[in-house]
Amino acid sequence: MSGTIVKAINIHKKFAGREVLRGVDLEVRNGEVLCILGPSGSGKSTLLRCLNHLEALDDGVVWIDGQIIGYELRDGTLKELPARKVRRQQREIGMVFQHFNLFPHMTALENIIEGPVTVRREPRASAIARAEKLLASVGLAERRDAYPAQLSGGQKQRVAIARALAMSPKVMLFDEPTSALDPELVGEVLDVMRALAASGTTMIVVTHEIGFAREVADRVAIMVDGEIREMGPPADVLANPTDARVRSFLARVL
Ligand code: ADP
Ligand code: MG
């Protein structure tokens, strides 16, 4: 583990005048797993969306692997980058959503090679070879030609993870990847994420799975009302939170 991959300083975000992120600072090192917990509406999804510039910032800066995301410094001020340059940056940031967001008219394999072939102009044969390896790594080698509608929720989410990995991202962002799954399918997705973490993938995971956070996270952050109120090793944060709102949140979920 070495070097900072994600750094965010003083992130502010408002929707319709209401402050949803109130100065969030974050630093995630290469190979580190950060789990973000917190009550519904506390700004967890917005924070992830700010990290990859799916939302513009009202204040603050995000760097991924040393590069400012969504903006460039010109004449001493930050100017928003043109969409085409933002998209280029976003390719290096893997995102997995609660609702999978697979292309419904494409097979599992086609979903995975879409980015590499159309965006990165990789030769189809090499993209397919890598997609097959990725499908095997998420336990779905046999389902390469299945369409999303033919897959269970857990299988769809594993394809979504493989699809994000196919772009060789510098960091993987997960937004409640198991929240839409039937309980019996949660484990297979967490197993894939556990293996990813063990292989040294840098991950930021918004989750309600406290067991996963306790076991896999290097650090846990707890968000309340648009702020990170506690951040540190899971054993410390989950056992001895100092902030009163964090204590009451944890008392409800632990
Ligand atoms: P969490 O993921 O922790 O549940 P969110 O980041 O989704 O929280 O939302 C934080 C707050 O911001 C909520 O009050 C939500 O209603 C509001 N919000 C999120 N996205 C938008 C949006 N696009 N427009 C207006 N309000 C939003
Ligand atoms: Mg959310």
- Count Cβ atoms below 10 Å from residue 78 Cβ, excluding itself: 15
Residue identifier of the C-alpha nearest atom 25 of ligand 1: 15
What is the spatial distance between Cα 90 and Cα 86, in angstroms, rounded to a whole number? 6
> Is 42 close to ligand 1, i.e. is its CB under 6 Å away?
yes
pLDDT in tens, 51-81: 999 999 999 999 999 999 999 999 999 999 9
Query: So what's the pLDDT on residue 1?
Result: 46
CB of 45 closer than 6 angstroms to any ligand 1 atom:
yes
Percent of the chain whose predicted confidence (pLDDT) is above 90: 96
Mean pLDDT of the chain: 96
Which numbered ligand comes closest to the C-alpha of 22? 1
d(CA 134, CA 128): 10
Q: Residue 2's pLDDT band (boundaries 50, 70, 90)?
A: low
- In angstroms, how far is CA 20 from the centroid of its own chain? 19
Positive or negative, the CA dihedral 225, 55, 63, 81 is negative
User: Which ligand 1 atom is nearest residue 42's CA?
Assistant: 3
- Please name which ligand lies nearest the alpha carbon of 41: 1
Name residue, tokens 């949803």. 20
Q: Which atom of ligand 1 is nearest to the CA of 226?
A: 10
* H or E element, residue 59: strand 59-64
User: What confidence tens digit (pLDDT) does each residue in 98-148 have?
Assistant: 998 999 999 999 999 999 999 999 999 999 999 999 999 999 999 999 999
Dihedral of CA atoms 204, 207, 211, 214 in degrees, nearest 10, equals 30
> Average of pLDDT values for 150-157?
97
| Cα 96 from chain centre | 6
Whether the per-residue pLDDT at 156 is higher than 80: the answer is yes
What is the ipTM for the molecules in this complex?
0.98
* In the predicted structure, residue 245 carries a pLDDT above the cut 90: yes
The whole-model pTM stands at: 0.96
Over residues 162-188, the mean pLDDT reads: 97
Candidates 12, 15, 206, 207: which one to mutate for ligand 1, based on the most atoms within 8 Å of Cβ?
Answer: 15
Q: How far apart (Å, rounded) are the C-alpha atoms in residues 135 and 178?
A: 19
Does 123 contact ligand 1 (Cβ within 6 A)?
Answer: no
Pick from 241, 224, 236: which is nearest to 37 by CA? Answer: 224
- Ligand at shortest distance from the CA of 17: 1
